[in-house]
């Protein structure tokens, strides 16, 4: 499992580029497969975020621990600097994760809509009737004077 911030940044960059370069396919199977593959990749990146944040919180607790539990102001300058750096990194990870979630939500919606469209087109080509369309057509033809 990848879990360092640098590796996550690289994974996000590669995944984002892949998502942007993904052309929407013209068939149901390929669209569904792309959605499945990219969702699995997204889940792996989310797991990397969880691992990194968990490790960061553990490190933060470890750095803050002393034999005597001091107040934040009583930490040595070096330890205070380390605590601040870890807190800043955790905040950046959380902000990056939120941005990634927003980006993914838009992309997933786009792929899901594409999949729905491809399913509709596939059904239409196969001549599958849609109940609402049949009702409207029957109503129209019943009231149409021949």
pLDDT bin (cut points 50, 70, 90) of residue 80 is: confident
CA distances from 34 to 7, 99, 112 (A): 23, 22, 10
- Statement: residue 96 has pLDDT above 50: yes
Dihedral-angle region of residue 145 (phi above 0 means left; psi in -120 to 50 means alpha; beta otherwise) = beta
Share of the chain above pLDDT 70, in %: 78
Share of the chain above pLDDT 90, in %: 48
Q: Of residues 8 and 31, which shows the higher confidence score?
A: 31
As to burial, measured by CB atoms within 10 angstroms (0-12 exposed, 13-18 middle, 19+ buried), residue 111 is buried
The predicted model gives 54-59 an average pLDDT of 93
- Statement: residue 66 has pLDDT above 60: no
- Statement: residue 81 has pLDDT above 60: yes
3-state secondary structure 14-58: HHHHHHHHCCCCCCHHHHHHHHHHHHHHHHHHHHHHHHHHHHHHH
Structure confidence at residue 118 (pLDDT): 92
Q: In Å, how far from its chain's centre is CA 94?
A: 13
Tell me the per-residue pLDDT of 103-137, one tens digit each, with 9 for 90 and over: 999 999 999 999 999 999 988 888 765 555 555 55
Q: In Å, how far from its chain's centre is CA 54?
A: 19
Residues 6+ apart with CB under 8 A from 7: 48
């Amino acid at each position: 499992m990848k879990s360092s911030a640098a590796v996550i940044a690289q994974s996000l960059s590669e995944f984002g580029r892949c998502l942007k370069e993904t052309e929407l396919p013209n068939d149901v199977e390929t669209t569904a497969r792309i959605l499945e593959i990219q969702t699995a990749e997204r889940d792996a990146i989310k797991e990397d975020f969880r691992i990194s944040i968990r490790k960061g919180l553990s490190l933060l607790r470890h750095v803050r621990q002393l034999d005597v539990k001091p107040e934040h102001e009583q930490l040595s300058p070096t330890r205070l600097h380390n605590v601040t750096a870890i807190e800043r990194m955790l905040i950046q990870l959380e902000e990056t994760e939120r941005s990634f979630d927003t980006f993914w939500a838009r992309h997933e919606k786009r792929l899901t809509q594409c999949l729905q469209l491809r399913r509709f087109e596939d059904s239409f080509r196969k001549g599958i009737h849609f109940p609402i369309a049949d009702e409207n057509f029957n109503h129209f033809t019943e009231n149409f004077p021949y």
